Copies of this chain bind each other. A is one copy, B any other.
Amino acid sequence: MIMEGILPLAPMEKILKKGSPDIRVSEPAKAELRVLLEEHGEKIGRAAAKFALHAGRKTIKEEDVRLAAKSKLE
């Protein structure tokens, strides 16, 4: 089932084919990658927001996103 998402579906094919230009990609595979990337991004976002607030800011900066990606925090 293709769910509504925040990210567009079309670039998922390009991302999945990046290392293997000759491979084909099914529509549900694209939809699955979109779900996974949004979940991954939201997890990073939750941690990044905590790091921003912890630093006394109301704005998520690049350094918060970097730290969030490296942390195990959610």
Residues of A within 8 A of B (CB): 6-8, 11-12, 14-20, 22-26, 28-29, 31-33, 36-38, 40-42, 44-46, 48-49, 52-53, 58-62, 64-66, 69
When the two chains form their complex, are residues A49 and B15 in contact, meaning their CB atoms are under 8 A apart? Answer: no
Expressed in whole angstroms, the minimum distance between the Cβ of A29 and any Cβ of chain B is: 5
When the two chains form their complex, are residues B6 and A65 in contact, meaning their CB atoms are under 8 A apart? Answer: no
The 6 residue pairs across chains A and B that have the minimum distance between CB atoms: A15-B41, A28-B62, A16-B45, A24-B59, A20-B49, A32-B65
Chain B contacts for A23, CB-based, 8 A: 49, 52-53, 58-60
When the two chains form their complex, are residues B59 and A25 in contact, meaning their CB atoms are under 8 A apart? Answer: yes
Q: How far is the CA of A66 from the CA of B31 in the complex (A)?
A: 11
